[in-house]
């Protein structure tokens, strides 16, 4: 018998969502073979989930729901809301020295923190049998640690949560850290920049780790915003990250799949994280974290080597068409931090920029060209 995609605890969490925000969600979970069972207290859900077998398909759906509804999930205390944590192989790391030494056998003085994109999760760094973190571990001696977070929250909120968590990781590392690198895909690059900013300037007294970040690599990060229309916000990322190919009847994007129309409705929702990705916000605009206005321009950290990798679909174009070049989600100019207004141009060094041709946004995760660049820059 086919194992259900979501667990009973997930369905109980979904039942708590307001009907106006997720009309048709019941159809979605039924289409994905979610079993119904008796009620359980929300406080029991996290403990129960810790003992369930890890299923990448379930993790992908939960991550996508957090991308489009994560701010609502968190505000209502819903059990489906992802709590930020560092993970390895999809399991949380206890940020304590002895626990890290036990879990991370063979840890090195080179720490690499990887931050996933909107609607994705830490397991999805592996794509087409490649993981940039694992490759840098083999080739450059890094120990990769993967951040798992609710991408529907505003980038600024995630940055504020991550800043003290990074300080704890830095202090608890099993040995003195000789090199600290951060690698962010899409939104992950914005969250990394936000955490460094909050750690240096917002947290009372400042934190130590932001000045110890040697390298920050932004992989397809929309520094000046992304092209997100009503159907692309999270939905395309979710569908592109599922195990089945797009033409397969078991793919939720296939017109004949029973979940397809419901996922399309979910794709029209706008979380604060989605709005921040659309605008390229690193910090929130004055007045709150609702993600509906452009925040202040935040420059690159001046004590860190910063790199930007963009992807481009199709052949290079000149003139006005060059401004339309993108990876299907993020314009090339945005990924490279370029802007016509000098005060908003991020000024990545020319030798710290690269454009990968004939590559889509998700395919950056499996790109051999990207892997070579990472080893060249970080090795």
Instruction: Specify the higher pLDDT residue, 65 or 21.
Output: 65
Query: Within the chain, which residue ranges are assigned CATH 3.40.50.1820?
Result: 84-229+270-378
Q: What is the pLDDT of residue 362?
A: 93
State percent of the chain over pLDDT 90: 57
Q: Are 168 and 199 in contact (CB under 8 A)?
A: no
pLDDT digits (tens, 9 = 90+) for 8-23: 555 555 555 544 444 4
Residue 289 confidence (pLDDT) above 90 = no
Q: What mean pLDDT is predicted for residues 292-309?
A: 89
Alpha helices in the chain (DSSP H): 8-15, 25-31, 42-50, 56-75, 97-103, 132-140, 155-172, 187-197, 235-240, 260-266, 272-279, 332-335, 368-378
The CA-atom distances, in angstroms, between 43 and each of 65, 70, 82, 120 are 20, 18, 14, 25
pLDDT digits (tens, 9 = 90+) for 198-207: 998 865 667 9
Instruction: Specify the higher pLDDT residue, 172 or 79.
Output: 172
Instruction: Specify the higher pLDDT residue, 271 or 232.
Output: 271
Residue 256 pLDDT level (bands cut at 50, 70, 90): low
Residue 183 confidence (pLDDT) above 90 = yes
Residue 76 confidence (pLDDT) above 50 = yes
Residue 290 confidence (pLDDT) above 90 = no
Residue 66 confidence (pLDDT) above 70 = yes
pLDDT digits (tens, 9 = 90+) for 43-62: 454 444 555 667 888 898 88
Residue 356 confidence (pLDDT) above 60 = yes
Q: Strand 179-185: give its sheet, edge to edge.
A: 91-92, 85-88, 143-148, 110-115, 179-185, 215-219, 305-312, 353-357
pLDDT digits (tens, 9 = 90+) for 104-149: 999 999 999 999 999 999 999 999 999 999 999 999 999 999 999 9
Residue 35 confidence (pLDDT) above 50 = no
Residue 266 confidence (pLDDT) above 70 = no
Average pLDDT, the chain: 82
pLDDT digits (tens, 9 = 90+) for 232-244: 444 555 445 555 5
CATH number of 84-229+270-378: 3.40.50.1820
pTM of the model: 0.83
Residue 280 confidence (pLDDT) above 90 = yes
Q: What mean pLDDT is predicted for residues 273-279?
A: 92
């Amino acid at each position: 018998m086919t194992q259900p995609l979501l667990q009973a605890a997930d369905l109980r969490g979904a039942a708590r969502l307001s009907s106006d925000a997720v009309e048709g969600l019941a159809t979605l979970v039924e289409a994905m073979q979610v079993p119904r069972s008796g009620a359980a207290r929300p406080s029991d859900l996290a403990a129960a989930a810790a003992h369930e077998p890890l299923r990448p398909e379930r993790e992908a759906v939960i991550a996508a729901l957090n991308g489009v509804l994560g701010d609502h999930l968190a505000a209502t205390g819903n059990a489906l809301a992802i709590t930020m944590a560092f993970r390895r192989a999809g399991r949380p790391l206890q940020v304590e020295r002895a626990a890290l030494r036990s879990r991370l056998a063979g840890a090195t003085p080179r720490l690499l923190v990887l931050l996933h994109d909107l609607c994705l999760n830490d397991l999805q760094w592996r794509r087409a049998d490649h993981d940039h973190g694992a490759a840098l571990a083999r080739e450059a001696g890094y120990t990769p640690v993967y951040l798992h977070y609710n991408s529907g929250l505003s980038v600024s909120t995630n940055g504020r949560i991550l800043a003290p968590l990074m300080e704890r990781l830095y202090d608890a590392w099993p040995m003195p850290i000789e090199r600290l690198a951060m690698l962010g895909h899409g939104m992950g690059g914005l969250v990394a920049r936000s955490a460094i900013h909050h750690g240096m300037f917002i947290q009372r007294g400042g934190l130590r780790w932001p000045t110890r970040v040697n390298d920050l690599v932004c992989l397809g990060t929309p520094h000046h915003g992304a092209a997100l229309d009503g159907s692309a916000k999270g939905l395309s990322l979710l569908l592109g990250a599922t195990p089945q190919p797009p033409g397969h009847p078991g793919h939720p994007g296939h017109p004949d799949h029973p979940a397809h129309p419901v996922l399309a409705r979910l794709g029209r929702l706008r979380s604060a994280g989605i709005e921040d990705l659309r605008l390229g916000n690193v910090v929130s605009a004055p007045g709150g974290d609702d993600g509906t206005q452009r925040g202040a321009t935040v420059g690159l950290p001046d004590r860190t080597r910063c790199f930007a990798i963009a992807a481009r679909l199709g052949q290079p174009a000149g003139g006005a068409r060059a401004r339309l070049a993108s990876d299907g989600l993020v314009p090339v100019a945005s990924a490279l931090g370029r802007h016509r207004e000098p005060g908003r141009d991020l000024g990545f060094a020319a030798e710290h920029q690269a454009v990968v041709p004939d590559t889509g946004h998700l395919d950056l995760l499996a790109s051999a060209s990207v892997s070579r660049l990472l080893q060249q820059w970080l090795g």
